Amino acid sequence: MAQSQRPRIGIIGTGAIGGFYGVMLARAGFDVHFLLRSEFAAVAEHGLTLNSAIHGTQHIQPVQAYQNAADMPRCDWLLVGAKTTSNSALAPAIIQAAADGAKVVLLQNGLAVEENLRPLLPASLHLLGGLCFICVHRAAAGVIEHQALGAVSLAYHSGPATDTAAQQVLLDTGVAMFKAAGLASTAMASIEQARWQKLVWNIPFNGLSVLLNADTTALLANADSHALIEALMHEVLQGAAACGYVVPEGFVGKMLVATQRMLDYLPSMAHDYRQQRPLELQAIYAEPLAAAARAGCEMPRVQALYQALAFLDAQNRS
Amino acid sequence: MAQSQRPRIGIIGTGAIGGFYGVMLARAGFDVHFLLRSEFAAVAEHGLTLNSAIHGTQHIQPVQAYQNAADMPRCDWLLVGAKTTSNSALAPAIIQAAADGAKVVLLQNGLAVEENLRPLLPASLHLLGGLCFICVHRAAAGVIEHQALGAVSLAYHSGPATDTAAQQVLLDTGVAMFKAAGLASTAMASIEQARWQKLVWNIPFNGLSVLLNADTTALLANADSHALIEALMHEVLQGAAACGYVVPEGFVGKMLVATQRMLDYLPSMAHDYRQQRPLELQAIYAEPLAAAARAGCEMPRVQALYQALAFLDAQNRS
């Protein structure tokens, strides 16, 4: 594939997620440009380092790094790896960095993130959801630690591709891009279905890692927290079902087995909490609770967890 | 009242609760004897000090203090202020310190504490439940800080007084004893009713003070934790109702107003947690959850809180 034929990729928010996928795509020969804020100086000087338990250590130096989206070349794909808490503030940068008909992929957890960003983007941009199954965190400015996994599921949300065939072509291109970088990737028919399924994991593990100050191994090893995790997962399944998204049978069991294989994994929300960053409570808790409530479904344990986290988040940043 | 006519009172477990009531009764002229374990030496040397925001500073020196129940004179009333977590271990001491037909009062929170102790006591002893509405904690060995309140509700559980009239005489005597010490006190007809009502407060505030590392003022000031407290209270009301105990209308509102008046009060469970003592999870959470479940009532938020606390308790003491 000649350089000119390759899509140009922009990374909006070069934290753990954006950094990981950006470095992996750059390493595979894609033309990747990184938008950074507070870490720009460090990355411009020292480059980006990915310490991966699977792919070894990757170092990019120099990095095509930018402090302002206005300075970036127009990109065909924009991968948004920032926290959902900053989405509305990022819309102008996304618009500035987007080529005509660009594909904007929200590599984020939670519900309704596309719905909330869509009104802020021009109709000419494609909006996709991307769900990352990955254990990764930012160890320092420009340094990303990758513990396990890395798969990306893509789904089309909205934009110029109005028929299924055109959407499928876009999804196939996106999937091929991640696969060319050595990563598992699949296209999913429904972004909402995909987001609810991911929430089955995020809702218990993200929240409890903050509330109980514990990693996945500790949370699963204790009989009480293990039972709480399962009860939360089943409430999320009920919420999803009320909203019309039936999660495949055996999904909870598979999630638990997969999580047991993640050694001592500390979910991203625990990292956010320890670094006094805002927690993604709106996307991961408030939106699913509201969607389930609109469908007549209460999720009392999820709501209790959300309220406890909202208290901690407020104290943590006050 | 001559010394000889006064009932002799034994305090089993001279922590915050036992210490407070013991000092107040001794100050009122009752013959009070204190059983201590780890703090015996400190109290024998320095006495007992009660720093009360209401009653001023009270100092008893020397204290009628004992390290072994076998050394105590036989007491007419035994006030058990120890944690429910040590009840079964305390039964032999209670029996040794009890005069014939003694009244054993469990000044403890939670459900089924009398049921669990009763089989360990001889039938000749009266067993009563006592619920303390008080803000008090142990600041150091033999030093008790009293912030607010102090009322005791008494109810008869089991023993030689088989008819209501005989039980009422005993309760009246107990109530008069606390009133003589300047404390509000009332007799309650049903110990279960009284315990469920107290749980409406204990379940949210004890647990959340540990889980969110916060005092009552902070928990009520935040809209999310305030809503969680109310939701937990309403679940406890439902559990109580399922078990046949209807809590008076407006009780939750009154509890919240009373709590708002307790400035920066840190519930006892938070003190226990900080000092790595076992939490009273069996009496305050597991027993009510089991009782409600037997009556066909789920309390999902209470159960989630219990499971989270059980995890923290295990980690805290490992």
pLDDT in tens, B62-84: 999 999 999 999 999 999 999 99
pLDDT of residue A90: 93
B228: which chain A residues are within 8 Å (Cβ-Cβ)?
A: 304, 307-308, 311
Q: With an 8 Å Cβ cutoff, are B307 and A225 in contact?
A: yes
Tally A–B CB contacts below 8 A. 82
The average pLDDT across B207-228 equals 98
Residue B2 clears pLDDT 90, i.e. is over it: no
Catalytic residues of A: 198
pLDDT of residue B5: 62
Mutate to test the interface with B, among A215, A224, A313 (most CBs of B within 10 A): A224
Shortest alpha-carbon distance between residue A307 and chain B (Å): 5
pLDDT of residue A235: 98
Instruction: Report ipTM (2 d.p.).
Output: 0.90
Mutate to test the interface with B, among A285, A307, A309, A312 (most CBs of B within 10 A): A307
Task: Give the nearest partner residue to B224 out of A225, A301, A311, using CB atoms.
Answer: A311
Q: With an 8 Å Cβ cutoff, are B304 and A211 in contact?
A: no
Residues in chain A whose Cβ is within 8 Å of chain B: 208, 211-212, 214, 218-219, 222, 224-225, 227-228, 231-232, 300-301, 303-308, 310-312, 314-315
Which residue of B lies nearest to A314 if distances are taken between CA atoms? B222
Q: With an 8 Å Cβ cutoff, are B222 and A310 in contact?
A: yes
The 3-state secondary structure of chain A reads: CCHHHCCEEEEECCCHHHHHHHHHHHHCCCEEEEECCCCHHHHHHHCEEEEECCCEEEEECCCCEECCHHHCCCEEEEEECCCHHHHHHHHHHHHHHEEEEEEEEEECCCCCHHHHHHHHCCCCCEEEEEEEEEEEEEEECCEEEEEEEEEEEEEEEECCCCCHHHHHHHHHHHHHHHHHCCCCEEECCCHHHHHHHHHHHHHHHHHHHHHCCCCHHHHHHCHHHHHHHHHHHHHHHHHHHHCCCCCCCCHHHHHHHHHHHCCCCCCHHHHHHHCCCCCCHHHHHHHHHHHHHHCCCCCHHHHHHHHHHHHHHHHHHC
Q: With an 8 Å Cβ cutoff, are B308 and A208 in contact?
A: yes
Q: DSSP letter string over B289-303? A: HHHHHHTT---HHHH
Shortest alpha-carbon distance between residue B197 and chain A (Å): 22
pLDDT in tens, chain A (318 residues): 334 468 999 999 988 999 999 999 999 999 999 999 889 999 999 999 999 999 999 999 999 999 999 999 999 999 999 999 888 899 999 999 999 999 999 999 999 999 999 999 999 999 999 999 999 999 999 999 999 899 999 999 999 999 999 999 999 999 999 999 999 999 999 999 999 999 999 999 999 999 999 999 999 999 999 999 999 999 999 999 999 999 988 999 999 998 998 888 999 999 999 999 999 999 999 999 999 999 999 999 999 999 999 999 999 998
Task: Give the nearest partner residue to A304 out of B219, B222, B301, using CB atoms.
Answer: B301
Model confidence pLDDT, tens digit, residues B243-296: 999 998 899 999 999 899 888 899 999 999 999 999 999 999 999 999 999 999
Q: With an 8 Å Cβ cutoff, are B300 and A231 in contact?
A: yes
pLDDT grade for B4, boundaries at 50, 70 and 90: very low
- Please confirm, yes or no, whether B198 is among the known catalytic residues: yes
B304: which chain A residues are within 8 Å (Cβ-Cβ)?
A: 228, 231-232, 300-301, 304-305
pLDDT grade for B1, boundaries at 50, 70 and 90: very low
Residue B234 clears pLDDT 70, i.e. is over it: yes
B300: which chain A residues are within 8 Å (Cβ-Cβ)?
A: 231, 300-301, 304
Task: Give the nearest partner residue to A304 out of B214, B219, B304, using CB atoms.
Answer: B304
Model confidence pLDDT, tens digit, residues B127-173: 999 999 999 999 999 999 999 899 999 999 999 999 999 999 999 99
A212: which chain B residues are within 8 Å (Cβ-Cβ)?
A: 308, 311-312, 315
pLDDT of residue B3: 43
Task: Give the nearest partner residue to B304 out of A219, A222, A305, using CB atoms.
Answer: A305
The 3-state secondary structure of A19-72 reads: HHHHHHHHHCCCEEEEECCCCHHHHHHHCEEEEECCCEEEEECCCCEECCHHHC
- Dihedral, CA of residue A246, residue A252, residue A255 and residue A257, to nearest 10: -150
pLDDT grade for B232, boundaries at 50, 70 and 90: very high
pLDDT of residue A5: 62
B315: which chain A residues are within 8 Å (Cβ-Cβ)?
A: 212, 214, 218, 222
Model confidence pLDDT, tens digit, residues A70-107: 999 999 999 999 999 888 899 999 999 999 999 999 99
Residues in chain B whose Cβ is within 8 Å of chain A: 208, 211-212, 214, 218-219, 222, 224-225, 227-228, 231-232, 300-301, 303-308, 310-312, 314-315
Sign (positive/negative) of CA torsion A208, A212, A215, A220?
negative
pTM recorded for the entire structure: 0.92
Q: Which of B103, B179, B198, B254 is catalytic?
A: B198
Shortest alpha-carbon distance between residue A157 and chain B (Å): 32
pLDDT of residue A4: 45
Q: With an 8 Å Cβ cutoff, are B311 and A231 in contact?
A: no
Mutate to test the interface with B, among A311, A312, A315, A316 (most CBs of B within 10 A): A311
